[in-house]
Amino acid sequence: MDASAKELGRLCILGTGQLGCSLAALARETGRFSEVVGVDRRTAHLEMAIRLSLIDRGVAEPGRGVLGANVVVLAVPLPEVFGVLAAAGPDIRPDALVTDLAGTTARVFAQVEREVGALPCFVPAFPLVHSQRMGPGGASADVLRGASVLLSRSAPPPALERAGRFFQALGLSALVVDGDLFEWCVAGTHYLPQLVVSCLRQVVRRAQWPLGQSALKRMLDSDEVSPEQERAFQLHAGRLSGLLDELVQAMGQRQRRLGSQASVPPPSRSRRRPVIAIDGPAGTGKSTVARRVARALGYLLVDTGAIYRCLALQARWAGLDETDEAALAERAAHLPFRFEERGEERRVWLGSEDVTQLIREPAISQAASRISALPAVRKALLEVQRDLGREGGVVLEGRDIGTVVFPDAEVKVFLEAPLAVRARRRFDELRAAGKTCTLEEVEREVKQRDERDEKRADAPLVPAADAIRIDTGPLSLDQVVEAVLEAVRRKAP
């Protein structure tokens, strides 16, 4: 072996999917590594990788696989990076170069260092390649040959230099970019197309998606739209216009599900996390309790009342009559709202406007209550709410979550309190916000809203038969939150 071979030494690749095994194939071609080790708990993957001569040796346990490695490459999906490094980190040599093929974000790596300890030679990397086959069976040196690899400048300069030499030794081009640009490139070139395709699946599901998958793939692989395609689009303009509306709606729903703040994905679980429904009339503390419960569990919070308020506000901006059920339902189906967490604050956006305070105006609250009684509006927003909670791990608060929106929710809670107590809470909230009102006016409005919600024909305000009822009147906020969390522990352990 020459000096460069001694320098490169043993290579350990954590993950033997297509990219990991393709990198291994390139490394073995160079002859500049003393050993190429593949690590994967899936023994079938390891056996196939060895049979195809992609790796020299296979190991199931990450800790054993990284022992003595000069270079460690993470070739697992981004959500698995934390778990794999947690298992392998203590056994990685302090001077080993650690890099990846998943485009590890700064947020994920920060959590890794908090839990595992410092990895001073870690360099986030991401190959700019496109391939759809999965597993070792789709691997070959050609998948990566001659490709460009992005390296994040967030890594220390000595580690960046080593990573550049490593990838160049494999015949790849190493491009160093700022950390923010690195994460934008990863999101835009890899994850955004996946989101778009998932939305397309939703739109064409009724048109037998598998039968059209090959045609769609050809479209996605094309570099640009030809004049002939543009003309074809015009010929189908009537149908395409409707499909585009559905696509925009699907993408809006996905955007609301994502929220605006990046987060480290929780460890994968074998079963879906529960849906928690918190219902009750105005002034029972639903919003505050739901926010505290969602934060304690790390769940998504969906304030369905805020969604109706956003619709009422948009209708007012557009000059729509509150009795124009068809026009309001059309608006509801494409309502551009989103929730945003800012530390302890929760903001509500309607398009590009922050409407957190506006939707709490008494006039908007009353309008939302009237609009919510319209069956077509409730039907339009029903699917929006169900889409937000479909994957579980969500706290939804409203007035019909446990009875209509998610009647099969694992945990159903109904908060209640005497009218006088609820009116006083609402009065204090309005006064704190600088509003001028009397306690008598507020109590009258709360009572009117109760009657409207309880007597409407479509989805009236009633507790679900299996809901846990909690009188919040004599309890502190902490006591109510703890009662809900105890219900979650009991109903969905």
In a domain, 23, yes or no: yes
pLDDT score recorded for residue 218 = 52
Tokens of 55: 């790796």
Rounded Cα distance, 57 and 104, in Å: 26
How many folded domains does the chain comprise?
3
Nearest to 355 by CA among 326, 398, 314, 385: 314
Distances (CA, A) of 321 to 326, 333, 449: 11, 17, 19
pLDDT score recorded for residue 35 = 94
pLDDT score recorded for residue 435 = 82
* Pairing verdict, β 394-398 and 275-279: parallel
Q: What is the pLDDT of residues 379-429, one digit of tens each?
A: 989 888 888 888 788 999 988 899 999 999 999 999 999 999 999 988 988
Taking each helix axis as running N to C, give the angle between helix 325-333 and helix 375-389, from 0 to 180 degrees, rounded to the nearest 10.
Answer: 10
In a domain, 184, yes or no: no
Cβ atoms < 10 Å from Cβ of 465? 9
364 plus 455 within the same structural domain:
yes
297 plus 254 within the same structural domain:
no
- Amino acid identity at 21: C
Rounded Cα distance, 50 and 64, in Å: 18
Rounded Cα distance, 377 and 44, in Å: 52
Read off the CATH number of the domain in which 317 is found: 3.40.50.300
373 plus 462 within the same structural domain:
yes
Rounded Cα distance, 414 and 402, in Å: 9
pLDDT score recorded for residue 3 = 45
In a domain, 265, yes or no: no
135 plus 163 within the same structural domain:
yes
Range of the domain at 254: 189-221+230-258
Whole-number average pLDDT of the chain: 84
213 plus 303 within the same structural domain:
no
In a domain, 132, yes or no: yes
Q: Are 72 and 98 in contact (CB under 8 A)?
A: yes
168 plus 247 within the same structural domain:
no
- Give the residue ranges of DSSP H helices in 322-438: 325-333, 362-371, 375-389, 419-432
pLDDT score recorded for residue 276 = 96
Cβ atoms < 10 Å from Cβ of 474? 9
293 plus 423 within the same structural domain:
yes
327 plus 470 within the same structural domain:
yes
pLDDT score recorded for residue 1 = 40
54 plus 172 within the same structural domain:
yes
Residues of the chain predicted below pLDDT 70 = 1-7, 131-134, 194-195, 197-233, 235-236, 239-240, 242-243, 259-271, 342-344, 493
249 plus 348 within the same structural domain:
no
Non-local CB neighbours of 124 within 8 Å, separated by 6+ positions: 99, 100, 103, 104, 105, 106, 109, 151, 152, 154, 155, 179, 182
